[in-house]
Chain A
Amino acid sequence: MIEVQNLSKYFGKKQALVDINLRLGKGFHGLLGPNGSGKTTLMRCLAGVLRPSCGTTKQSDMIGYLPQRFNFYRELTLYETMEYFASLKKIPRHQQRDAIMRLLHLVHLDERAKSKLRTLSGGMIRRMGIAQALLGNPPLVLVDEPTAGLDPEERLSFKNIISDLNPDSCIIISTHIVEDVEALCKRIIILDEGKVVADKGSDALKEYARGSVYRVLADHQADLLPPYEILRRERSEEQEYLRILSPNDQNAKPVHPTIEDGYIMVIRGYPPKSL
């Protein structure tokens, strides 16, 4: 579905992407990385809106792309915007109406089809963004930071819509929020400072952190051996616990890792315990 070979991108002297090689097929793929790691640059190169400095990308002709910042021309109605995209994707005129209304129904916006975009909330615009990306059933769908700036309810609604997408397409979801891709993506690619630092299945990413995640009483924090990283504080039965990540044994029983734990391990450069 998409093949990337030796892709690099420079902005002036700064190298934003370093020799990226990827081959992705059908299904959901998560592109994770901290802010500034090069995710959006990579997505823009894959979408063909940014020219790579070197390297090649091979992908299908039709692409659905929801950019990170998507706030379309506000004087158009929702239906007109979709019609505009449909004509760009050369969907035959007699099929446009059905295709548009089906997708607006999918993103729960069919009743707002005649509303001007300036009257819609940020969450609705994002949902329209995914609808336009899906027009024409593109074999490659790129979704960049889909839940950025959405309130919790809109985020949940958006995640449900994404999970209903056709898995026969190659769907790449770029985000810095691990939770957004945790349930969906079987393959996770982690970018850091423009490089692919991990390309693993979601289970393999969890396993990467196995033996390195501990839950200790907060009162015992002083006894912990550095280096360690507090992932979060948890409270149960009047006791406060720390969920920590550490490459050292911490005189505690390791707990089951999550994808987020594996992600933090990779980003921090901690080696897995099994090595």
Chain B
Amino acid sequence: MSFRLQRLRIALLSSRLLFLAPLIVVYFLLPTSCISMYQKEGLRESRALFVYLSHSLVTMLSLLWTLSHLQIWIDSEGEEALRASRRKMTSNGLDVIILLCVYLVMTLPVFTVANYFYSNIWPEWFRFGIVTSTLVAMLYVLAVSLDSVTMAALVTYAYSFLSVIYGAENASASVLLLKPHRELYPGEMTKLYFPAWGAAAVLFLIGHMIETRGKN
């Protein structure tokens, strides 16, 4: 595990902007925007802004850490040397899941503070976690099946943006996971987000199988 963490550290630190952008947004932009909104419009609007930013910007930025790792394995021309060094036909699935978990844990302090001010924000964190997992799984499976991180990122970001844009008008559409304009409906977690979590698990499994099968 320590070797795996060493590689993830190298991947993240080498792509400085991709690594720092989510941290800046989560620990600087998100709190300052919400505080500013609270001072101007009050607690309710501030909470709405927090939900909006965490379900749009913070969710979409989660892809950057996965991108920085997968670029080394898929987009660079040295990937065959990497696979030969690792010898076994293993996959990047676990690395991606570790990065995802670190990202979710990274957002916990901000949600903890937000919960203190807004109260009962944890369902929103679970929703955020599930949507983030699904997007990361989508990026991973697309990257390994298309053999291009760039193409996979384009498709995943296109879906995310369309989801944010049309999610407001089609609040009940189940294919649009990003619904930052509103908070969770009662029962929506079991009807929409738990199945999405299951879908994320299946996508990770498919990606893992594609990678471990080796190239034809």
A residues at B contact (CB < 8 Å): 11, 44, 47-51, 61-67, 69-77, 80, 83-85, 87-90, 93, 129, 132-133, 135, 142
Cα–Cα distance between A106 and B129 once the two chains are bound (Å): 48
Instruction: Determine if B185 is an interface residue (Cβ-Cβ < 8 Å).
Output: no
Tell me whether B84 and A50 are in contact (CB under 8 A).
no
Which B residues are CB-close (under 8 A) to A65? Answer: 80-81, 84-85
Known interface pairs A47-B83, A48-B214; 16 further A-B residue pairs with C-beta atoms within 8 A, sorted by A's residue number: A44-B80, A49-B80, A49-B84, A49-B215, A63-B85, A65-B84, A65-B85, A67-B78, A70-B77, A73-B78, A80-B10, A83-B10, A85-B81, A85-B82, A87-B4, A132-B81
B85 x A89 contact (CB < 8 A)? yes
Please report the C-alpha to C-alpha distance between residue A142 and residue B85 in the assembled complex, in whole angstroms.
11
Q: Is the CB of A47 within 8 A of B80?
A: yes
Closest 6 CB pairs of A and B: A65-B84, A72-B78, A47-B84, A71-B77, A87-B3, A67-B80
Chain B residues within 8 Å of A48, by CB = 83-84, 87, 89, 214
Q: Which of A69, A74, A88 contacts B3 (CB 8 A)?
A: A88
Q: Is the CB of A76 within 8 A of B3?
A: no
Could you tell me if B72 and A73 are in contact, using CB atoms closer than 8 angstroms? yes
Evaluate contact between A83 and B80: CB separation under 8 angstroms: no
Given contacts A48-B83, A71-B77, A73-B76, contact A84 B7 (CB under 8 A): yes
Which of B71, B78, B83, B214 lies in contact with A70, CB distance below 8 A?
B78
Please give me the residue from chain A that is nearest to B5 by CB atom.
Answer: A87
Identify B6's interface contact among A64, A70, A93, A129, CB under 8 A.
Answer: A93
Contacts A51-B214, A133-B81 given; indicate if A87 touches B6 (C-beta within 8 A).
yes
Q: Are B214 and A49 in contact (CB under 8 A)?
A: yes
A169 to chain B minimum Cβ distance, whole angstroms, is 15
Bound state CA distance, A47 and B84, in angstroms?
5
Distance in angstroms between the alpha carbons of A66 and B206 in the assembled complex: 29
Closest residue of B by beta carbon distance from A65: B84
Closest to A70 in B: B78
Question: What residue in chain B is nearest A50 (Cβ atoms)?
Answer: B215
Question: Could you tell me if A88 and B10 are in contact, using CB atoms closer than 8 angstroms?
Answer: no
| Identity of the chain A residue whose Cβ is nearest the Cβ of B82 in the assembled complex | A88
> Known: A84-B72, A88-B3. Contact between A71 and B80, CB under 8 A?
no
* Binary CB contact string for chain B from 127 to 159 against chain A (1 if under 8 A, 0 otherwise): 000000000000000000000000000000000
Whether B119 sits at the interface, judged by CB under 8 Å, is no
Q: Please, which residues of chain B bring their CB within 8 A of the CB of A64?
A: 84-85
Question: Would you call B2 an interface residue if the criterion is a C-beta within 8 Å of the partner chain's C-beta atoms?
Answer: yes
Closest to A142 in B: B84
A225 and B85 alpha carbons, distance in the complex (Å): 53
Contact across chains for A71 and B78 when beta carbons are under 8 A apart: yes
Closest to A60 in B: B87
Q: Is the CB of B14 within 8 A of A63?
A: no
Name 29 A/B residue pairs within 8 A (Cβ), A-sorted. A47-B83, A49-B83, A50-B216, A51-B216, A62-B87, A63-B85, A64-B85, A65-B85, A67-B77, A67-B80, A70-B77, A72-B76, A72-B77, A72-B78, A73-B76, A75-B14, A75-B15, A76-B14, A76-B72, A80-B10, A80-B14, A84-B11, A85-B82, A87-B3, A88-B7, A93-B2, A129-B78, A129-B81, A133-B81
Kindly state whether residue B40 has any CB partner on chain A within 8 Å. Answer: no
Assembly CA distance A198 to B84 (angstroms): 27
State A87–B7 Cα separation when bound (angstroms).
7
**Residue of B75, B85, B89 most packed against chain A (CB within 10 A):** B85
Q: Is B191 part of the binding interface, using a Cβ–Cβ cutoff of 8 Å?
A: no
What is the CA–CA distance of A271 and B78 in the complex, to the nearest angstrom?
Answer: 41
> Within the assembled complex, what's the spacing in Å between the Cα atoms of A142 and B72?
21
Interface set, chain B 52-107, CB cutoff 8 A to A: 71-72, 75-78, 80-87, 89
